[in-house]
C-alpha cells in the first residue's frame, strides 16, 4: 500500500450518488491513492446497500486492498480521516418531495435548491452540515471537507459564520455538467477549455470559454447553436425528461438574453410562471429519483447479496470525478482550476465582499485561491445577484436568530417568490412540514 494513501469518509454514504463518487475514486488511484473508504450515514439500511455495492466495485476493480467501513457512529466515521466528501441530505428524499410539492400548491416554483423549496431545504441542511463540521473538528481537525450538500450558498454562508476557519471547499457539479453536455452534443472537449464564469450557486453566467486546442473563443458559436436548438440530454441522463426540459429552458433564456451562457437553474428565477405551468404537482423530481436511481441501487444491492451479479456498467458523468479531482489537487498541490462557492473577498469588484459567489478558483494544499474577474459585472446580473444574495443572507440570519421576521423577508425577497402574501403562506406551510428539522422561529 502506498504510504501516501489517504482515508476518505463519505458523509451521506447511503446516497444514490455514492457509486459514482467511488467509481471516480477507484479510477483515480494513480493521483489520489486511497487506503480506506468509510461510509457514514444515519440511515443504516441505505448505507448497507452502498456497502454491498462498493464491496462489489472494489472486487471488480481488483482493489480489495482498500479497507471499506460502514458506520452510523460519528467517531468511527471521522476519526483521523484525511478527506470528508459530504453529500448528506437532511430529511432525505421524503422531505425533498415536500420542498417541491408544497410551494406548487401555492402556485410557486417547487424545486429542491431554488425558491421557497430551496430555502426550506436550507433551514434543514445548515444544521446537518454544521454537525458534520463539528465532528470533523473533533475527530479529524486536519481533514479537508469537500462539500456537495445543497443548498450550497446557504451552507457556505452558515459554515463561514460559525466556523470561519473550517477547512472546507463547497463545490457544485452543475457548471461541468453543462460543459460536458455541450461537449457531448457539439463535439468539444472540456479538458481543453478555460471557462470564465461568475454568479451565486445555481445562479450564474459564463462570460467566455476559450478552447486551447482550437486556439479560440468558442462561447459565441455555442450560444448560436443553443439558440437554434436545445441540446439533448447526455447519456448519463438518458431518457430523463426533466433534464431535457432544463436544456430547453436554457435555450429559451438565451433567446431573450443572448450575451452570456446562463446556468440552467436561472429558469426558476427568470421564468417562474413558465416553470410552474409545466410542473406536475403530483409527481415531482423527488418521485422520479425514488423511482429510478434509488430503486435501481437497492435492486443492485439485493442482486449482489444474492450473488447474482458481478459486472458494473456505470456512466455517471463528471459528478464523481469533480470532487475527486479537487481532492487530488489538494493532495498533490497541483493548482487545478475549479468552480467553487466561496466568499467574494474581491473576486467581483463591484459586489459586496461578503457575498457568497461561485467563481473559478485554483485549488492546492492551502485550499482555494479564487480568481479576480478582470472587469466589474454588468447591472443586470449585479441586480439579480444582489437581491438573491441578500435573501440568502436573511435566511441564514433567520436560522441563527430563530427569527420568523427574517425568514419572511428572505422568502419575500427570493426572486422565485412574487409576493409577500404568497411568501407568508408558503413559509407557514413549510414551518409545519419541517417541524422536526427547522429551528423554532418566533
356-364 and 367-370 beta bridge pairing: antiparallel
DSSP state of 309: -
Q: Tell me how many degrees the CA angle 85-88-90 measures, rounded to the nearest 5.
A: 160
| Contact assessment for residue 320 and residue 22, using Cβ atoms and an 8 Å cutoff | yes
C-alpha cell at 424: 407568508
| Contact assessment for residue 58 and residue 64, using Cβ atoms and an 8 Å cutoff | yes
Which residues in the 166-225 window bind Mn ion by CB under 5 A? 172, 174
Cis before 155 (ω within 30): no
Which is nearer to Mn ion, 174 or 391 (by Cβ)?
174
Using rule CB under 6 A, residue 173 touches ligand G6P? yes
Which is nearer to Mn ion, 174 or 178 (by Cβ)?
174
Distance of alpha carbon 15 from alpha carbon 94, whole angstroms: 13
Listed in sequence order, the residues at least 6 apart from 272 whose beta carbon sits closer than 8 Å to its beta carbon are 108, 109, 115, 415, 416, 418
Which range of residues in 123-131, 133-141, 166-174, 384-392 is near ligand G6P by CB under 6 A? 166-174
Distance of alpha carbon 69 from alpha carbon 34, whole angstroms: 13
265 is catalytic: yes
DSSP state of 142: T
Looking at 57, 172, 359, 385, which residue binds ligand G6P (CB under 6 A)?
A: 172
Q: How far from chain centre, in Å, is Cα 325? A: 15
Using rule CB under 6 A, residue 147 touches ligand G6P? no
- The least CB distance from residue 113 to Mn ion, in Å, is 7
DSSP state of 207: E
Using rule CB under 6 A, residue 289 touches ligand G6P? yes
**Set 197, 265, 268, 399: catalytic member:** 265
Listed in sequence order, the residues at least 6 apart from 193 whose beta carbon sits closer than 8 Å to its beta carbon are 179, 209, 210, 211, 212, 218
Using rule CB under 5 A, residue 15 touches Mn ion? no
**Set 173, 211, 389, 397: catalytic member:** 173
Which range of residues in 128-136, 169-177, 416-424, 433-441 is near ligand G6P by CB under 6 A? 169-177
Alpha helices in 140-279 (DSSP H): 152-162, 174-186, 219-228, 241-256, 267-270, 272-277
Distance of alpha carbon 88 from alpha carbon 13, whole angstroms: 8
Which is nearer to Mn ion, 92 or 112 (by Cβ)?
112
288 is catalytic: no
Distance of alpha carbon 103 from alpha carbon 253, whole angstroms: 23
Which residues in the 95-124 window bind ligand G6P by CB under 6 A? 113
Which is nearer to ligand G6P, 267 or 397 (by Cβ)?
267
Q: In the complex, which residue's CB is closest to ligand G6P?
A: 174
Output phi, psi for 216, to 5 deg.
-160, 165
- The least CB distance from residue 177 to ligand G6P, in Å, is 6
Looking at 171, 174, 183, 355, which residue binds ligand G6P (CB under 6 A)?
A: 174
Which residues in the 354-413 window bind Mn ion by CB under 5 A? none
- The least CB distance from residue 129 to ligand G6P, in Å, is 14
Using rule CB under 5 A, residue 95 touches Mn ion? no
- The least CB distance from residue 429 to Mn ion, in Å, is 25
Q: What is the dihedral of CA 109, 418, 249, 243, to 10 degrees?
A: -20
Using rule CB under 6 A, residue 49 touches ligand G6P? no
- The least CB distance from residue 404 to ligand G6P, in Å, is 28
- The least CB distance from residue 57 to ligand G6P, in Å, is 21
Which is nearer to ligand G6P, 152 or 397 (by Cβ)?
152
Judged by beta carbon distances under 5 to 8 A according to partner kind, the member of Mn ion, ligand G6P, none in contact with residue 97 is: none
Using rule CB under 6 A, residue 150 touches ligand G6P? yes
Site residues (CB under 6 A) for ligand G6P? 113, 150, 172-174, 177, 285, 289
Site residues (CB under 5 A) for Mn ion? 172, 174
Which residues are known to be catalytic?
173, 265
Amino acid at each position: 500500500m502506498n504510504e501516501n494513501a489517504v482515508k476518505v469518509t463519505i458523509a451521506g454514504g447511503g446516497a444514490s450518488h455514492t457509486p459514482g463518487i467511488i467509481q471516480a475514486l477507484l479510477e483515480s488511484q494513480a493521483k489520489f491513492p486511497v487506503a480506506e473508504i468509510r461510509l457514514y450515514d444515519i440511515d443504516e439500511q441505505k448505507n448497507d446497500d452502498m456497502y454491498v455495492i462498493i464491496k462489489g466495485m472494489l472486487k471488480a476493480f481488483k482493489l480489495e486492498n482498500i479497507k471499506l467501513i460502514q458506520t452510523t457512529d460519528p467517531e468511527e466515521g471521522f476519526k483521523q480521516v484525511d478527506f470528508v466528501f459530504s453529500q448528506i441530505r437532511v430529511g432525505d428524499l421524503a422531505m425533498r418531495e415536500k420542498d417541491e410539492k408544497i410551494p406548487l400548491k401555492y402556485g410557486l416554483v417547487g424545486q429542491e435548491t431554488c425558491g421557497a423549496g430551496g430555502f426550506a431545504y436550507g433551514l434543514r441542511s445548515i444544521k446537518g452540515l454544521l454537525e458534520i463540521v463539528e465532528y470533523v473538528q473533533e475527530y479529524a481537525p486536519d481533514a479537508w471537507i469537500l462539500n456537495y450538500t445543497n443548498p450550497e450558498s446557504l451552507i457556505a454562508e452558515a459554515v463561514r459564520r460559525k466556523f470561519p476557519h473550517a477547512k472546507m471547499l463547497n463545490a457544485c457539479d452543475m457548471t461541468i455538467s453543462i460543459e460536458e453536455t455541450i461537449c457531448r452534443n457539439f463535439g468539444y472537449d472540456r479538458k481543453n477549455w478555460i471557462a470564465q464564469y461568475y454568479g451565486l450557486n445555481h445562479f450564474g453566467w459564463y462570460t467566455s470559454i476559450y478552447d486551447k486546442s482550437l486556439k479560440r473563443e468558442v462561447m459565441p458559436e455555442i450560444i448560436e447553436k443553443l439558440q437554434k436548438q436545445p441540446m439533448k440530454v447526455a447519456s448519463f441522463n438518458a431518457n430523463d425528461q426533466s433534464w431535457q426540459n432544463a436544456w430547453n429552458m436554457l435555450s429559451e433564456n438565451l433567446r431573450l438574453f443572448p450575451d452570456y451562457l446562463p446556468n440552467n437553474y436561472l429558469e426558476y428565477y427568470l421564468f417562474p410562471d413558465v416553470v410552474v405551468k409545466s410542473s406536475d404537482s403530483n409527481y415531482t423530481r423527488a418521485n422520479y429519483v425514488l423511482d429510478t436511481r434509488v430503486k435501481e441501487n437497492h435492486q443492485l444491492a439485493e442482486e449482489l447479496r444474492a450473488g447474482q451479479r458481478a459486472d458494473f456498467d456505470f456512466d455517471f458523468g463528471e459528478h464523481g470525478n469533480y470532487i475527486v479531482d479537487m481532492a487530488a489537487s489538494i493532495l498533490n498541490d497541483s493548482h487545478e482550476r475549479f468552480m467553487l462557492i466561496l466568499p467574494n473577498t474581491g473576486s467581483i469588484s463591484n459586489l459586496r465582499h461578503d457575498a457568497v459567489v461561485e467563481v473559478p478558483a485554483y485549488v492546492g494544499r492551502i485550499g482555494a485561491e479564487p480568481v479576480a474577474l478582470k472587469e466589474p459585472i454588468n447591472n443586470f446580473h449585479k441586480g439579480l445577484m444582489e437581491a438573491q444574495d441578500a435573501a440568502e443572507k436573511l435566511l441564514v440570519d433567520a436560522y441563527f436568530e430563530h427569527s420568523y421576521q427574517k425568514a419572511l423577508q428572505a422568502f419575500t425577497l427570493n426572486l422565485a417568490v412574487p409576493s409577500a402574501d404568497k411568501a407568508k403562506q408558503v413559509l407557514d406551510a413549510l414551518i409545519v412540514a419541517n417541524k422536526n428539522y427547522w429551528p423554532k422561529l418566533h
